[in-house]
Amino acid sequence: MPDSDGPAKVTVPHVMAARREGRRITMVTAYDYSFAAVVDKSDIDIILVGDSGGMTLLGHQNTLPVTMDEMLLMSRAVARGCRHCLLVGDMPFGSYEAGPQPAVANAMRFLKEAAMDAVKLEGGVRMAATVRAIADANIPVMGHIGLTPQSIAKLGSFQVQGRSAAAAAALMEDALALEEAGVFSLVLEAIPAEVAAMITERVTVPTIGIGAGPGCDGQVLVLHDLLGLFQRFVPKFVKRYADLATEARRALDAYAAEVRSGEFPDREHSYHLPAGEERRVRARLEEAGPTG
């Protein structure tokens, strides 16, 4: 039922219907209450509470150190700020690789403890059985193939995937296996646009691209990338729609200058005694005398 002060809640069926109805899907990451509340009032369909928060918020070099407890903490914060967007919790490295049983238990935690609507995990054919087990437990699953950041130790670097015929065929096999296993959507990351378009044409579930060209059914970007807040590096596929890091530094420098000059805080930004009370308060304090 739609909220009286906002649009209806985006659901998994809504996302799946978007492809059939020709509606492009919009998704961004978020990791805290404040940004989630901002995103929720925008025209974004899905918030992914991504393990990329390990890099953007926690300062790790990659996503491998991120724990379930950290993901659940971020997910709960995002859920408190969101009423409209579909919420997807990113299963961190180590939370599902050991097999279907622990994967289902950890996926359940995202829904039971963090109010997520779905989970996302990386991997294709090798993860199909795990995806099926989670989906069979009535937990919606978003798949993720192509560049899978949790495989960085194996890959060696963040690099484009599917550039050869054999590699592209393997990606198609991954996509079809995940569709068969029951995913409701697929993230395609760092894949040649032509390959991503071919996968999108072949599968029936929506594809959401990140560095995968315009042929996908939707797009996702890391919030801190598109807002210009993450400064360490900028992937080729990122378009910055704002430069908030520069604006934040400007604001911080202005604040520091006003504090040092005595301009801030001024009367407007201070609390004051009621009219006529200052003399009585001063007298009472003077009567109290020194203490200690």
Catalytic residue chosen out of the listed positions 189, 247, 277, 278: 189
CB atoms closer than 10 angstroms to residue 24: 14
Amino acid in position 22: G
Half-sphere exposure of 142 (CA within 13 A, CB side): 29
User: Is 189 an annotated catalytic residue?
Assistant: yes
Residue whose C-alpha is closest to residue 53's, from 35, 71, 79: 71
Cite the active site residues: 189
